[in-house]
Amino acid sequence: MSGGFENKEELLRRIFRSEGRRNLLRTIAREKIITTSELVRRTGLKRQTVVDYLKEFEDLKIVRIRKNQKPWIVIASKELRLLPFEAKPEEKVIKYKFSWKDFPNLLFREKKLELVFVWGSGRIEKAEAYDAIGIPEVVAKILSKAFSKGVPRQNVKIISNTDVEVATNKKLLGSNLFVIGSGIVNLLTAKIMEEIRPPIRFEPPMGREIYSAITEKFYSAGEDPDKYAGILALLPNPWNLSNVIILAGGIFRQGTMAALKALMRHLDEPVFLQPHPIAGIPIRIVRADEDGNFAGFFE
């Protein structure tokens, strides 16, 4: 990783683990346009602290600052309104309507196939081209299954869009979603982590490290072999419970690639993906080798 990449990731860690920064961002997001003087008054932070934090936010492009007048005018970006701020320490009880044995047939209900692939827009941290490796094969295999189940071609609608566009479009948000990448590259992944708070998740939501509440283990970007971990999950869509979210995202590109390869193997061998061995839920932590090949499961 480059120094710039590490700096951006460190800024994200600071934001979501610092109550002062979170409170400042929460205020900006709520007001949309606000002065630095008003931010000092409302948050109780020292003026210099507010200025320092604002410079961090500006580096991440989640605020714009008009500095040609005093006090400065702070303007919330579109992305800022999507970021998760509220702390939710409790584990949520999630009802999983479908399991891996239902996939991909669950997508073919009523003899139609509608699926939205969601890519990171690069507003916070750019996704890599590697995240797309395997997607054409996944689409081809899903289409083959759909046609074999009698889905007519005119009833097939597969589209792709960015995280920001989907997150701000209620109709798209309620679709069957295929979300690629961790919370640091895909804002919708972060939104899902915050909304559902699954027991295996990216923590913080806009980070890349994986936390399992089942085994109480953190999979860290700085540890080997943990850094080759990825999440492969079949989640209920919280914005339309009749639909699902397929999530494939890794700490690094290798984990994302391995998650997609595990899914492709399941499409060839329908009994391949099994529920989590402890929790019995359709979420697995895949293990990759350094080239992004699927190398089994951590959990």
Using one digit for the tens of pLDDT, what is the confidence trace for 200-229? 999 878 878 898 999 988 888 877 899 999
**Fold topology of 100-297:** Chitobiase; domain 2 (3.30.379)
The predicted-structure confidence for 50-99, as pLDDT tens digits, reads as follows: 999 899 888 888 898 988 877 888 888 877 776 666 554 566 789 999 99
CB of 237 closer than 8 Å to CB of 244: yes
Cβ burial of 84 (10 Å; 0-12, 13-18, 19+) is buried
Yes or no: domain 3-82 corresponds to CATH 3.40.47.10: no
pLDDT of residue 222: 75
Instruction: List Cβ neighbours of 281 (8 Å cut-off, separation of 6 or more).
Output: 94, 96, 199, 275
Owner of token pair 């804002």: 187
- Local structure of residue 289 (DSSP, 8 states): -
Sign of torsion, CA 217 221 222 226? positive
pLDDT over threshold 60, residue 6:
no
Q: Quick one: what percent of the chain has pLDDT higher than 90?
A: 55
Residue intervals in the chain for CATH 3.30.379.10: 100-297
CB of 243 closer than 8 Å to CB of 174: yes
Q: Please tell me the distance from the alpha carbon of residue 153 to that of residue 158, in angstroms, as a whole number.
A: 11
Residue intervals in the chain for CATH 1.10.10.10: 3-82
Segments in the chain forming alpha helices (H): 3-17, 19-31, 36-43, 47-59, 135-148, 163-167, 170-173, 187-196, 253-268
pLDDT of residue 10: 65
Task: Look at 26-35, 47-56, 148-157, 281-290 and tell me which has the smallest mean pLDDT.
Answer: 26-35
CB of 119 closer than 8 Å to CB of 180: yes
